[in-house]
């Protein structure tokens, strides 16, 4: 479920839609979390689905470390990638704001943390745009992500967390907020072996054109 202080807006014909803050969202806030309405599609379940679903899964889901595809039920599935994202994955069930997000600012995350199975060409426009977002970006950026996550999550106990009661697994966040557990290292949930070029595409049904991901975005 996406943070309640957000709305869907059309960005451009090339990018499509994006998710924007309607109020300030402080650094350290959980901006998205796996909830009871989200669809968690196991590899077996994906094989049961008609092939026409493959494109939807490829475009709108992300992959967990266990190889499940998660399809958000709400506008969370329209969160775009940025190489300088407003949020990062705190685990494969949560995103956390790594800076204060202003009203009207687009919520973005880093698809390099989402076990993407197809490399993405990126034109996000951020200074330092990587140009290509890869499923094994954790090998190069894992320590950077981890440092930013630790710094942002240090603020998490002191900011409102409206998604906490809606999470499918609230205990994980409660334990981290109470200091009983540390945020996991990105290497625990970003699994390069699932990435493009490493057989990861076998996780998805065949699709005619792998270049359709909107992430560009």
CB of 47 to Zn ion, least distance (A): 33
**For Zn ion, the closer CB: 133 or 163:** 133
One residue of 116, 124, 152, 215 binding Zn ion per CB under 5 A: 124
Per CB under 5 A, 116 contacts Zn ion: no
Which residues are paired to 71 by β-bridges?
39, 61
One residue of 40, 65, 129, 155 binding Zn ion per CB under 5 A: 129
Per CB under 5 A, 79 contacts Zn ion: no
Per CB under 5 A, 98 contacts Zn ion: no
What distance lies between CA 160 and its chain's CA centroid?
21
**# chain residues binding Zn ion, by CB under 5 A:** 4
Residues 126, 84 contacting (CB under 8 angstroms): yes
Per CB under 5 A, 8 contacts Zn ion: no
Contact characters 12-51, Zn ion, x per CB under 5 A:
----------------------------------------
**For Zn ion, the closer CB: 176 or 195:** 195
Q: How many CB atoms lie within 10 A of CB 184?
A: 17
**For Zn ion, the closer CB: 113 or 173:** 113
Per CB under 5 A, 83 contacts Zn ion: yes
**For Zn ion, the closer CB: 40 or 129:** 129
Please identify which residue in the block is written with the tokens 């350290």: 28
**For Zn ion, the closer CB: 50 or 127:** 127
Which residues are paired to 62 by β-bridges?
70
Contacts from 123-131 at CB under 8 Å and sequence distance 24+? 123/216, 124/80, 124/81, 124/82, 124/83, 124/84, 124/216, 124/217, 126/82, 126/83, 126/84, 127/84, 128/83, 128/84, 129/83, 130/83
Where does 34-114 show beta strands of DSSP type E?
Answer: 39-41, 61-63, 69-71, 80-81, 87-91, 94-97, 106-109
Per CB under 5 A, 57 contacts Zn ion: no
Taking the C-alpha atoms of residue 51 and residue 207, their distance in angstroms, rounded to an integer, is 8
**For Zn ion, the closer CB: 57 or 122:** 122
Residues near Zn ion (CB under 5 A) are: 83, 122, 124, 129
């Amino acid at each position: 479920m996406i943070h309640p202080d957000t709305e869907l807006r059309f960005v451009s014909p090339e990018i499509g839609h994006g998710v924007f803050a309607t109020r300030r969202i402080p650094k350290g806030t959980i901006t998205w979390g796996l909830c009871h309405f989200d669809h968690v599609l196991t590899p077996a379940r994906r094989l049961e689905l008609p092939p026409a679903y493959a494109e939807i899964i490829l475009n709108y889901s992300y992959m967990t470390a266990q190889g499940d595809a998660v399809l958000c039920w709400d506008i969370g599935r329209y969160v775009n990638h940025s190489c300088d994202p407003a949020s990062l994955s705190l685990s494969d069930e949560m995103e956390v704001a790594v800076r204060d997000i202003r009203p009207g600012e687009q919520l973005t995350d880093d698809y390099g943390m989402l076990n993407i199975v197809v490399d993405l060409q990126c034109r996000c426009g951020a200074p330092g745009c990587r140009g290509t977002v890869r499923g094994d970006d954790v090998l190069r950026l894992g320590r950077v992500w981890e440092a930013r996550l630790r710094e942002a999550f240090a603020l998490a106990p002191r900011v409102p967390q409206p998604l906490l009661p809606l999470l499918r697994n609230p205990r994980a966040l409660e334990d981290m907020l109470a200091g009983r557990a540390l945020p996991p290292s990105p290497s625990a949930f970003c699994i390069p072996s699932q990435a493009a070029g490493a057989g990861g595409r076998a996780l998805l049904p065949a699709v005619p054109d792998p270049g359709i991901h909107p992430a560009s975005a």
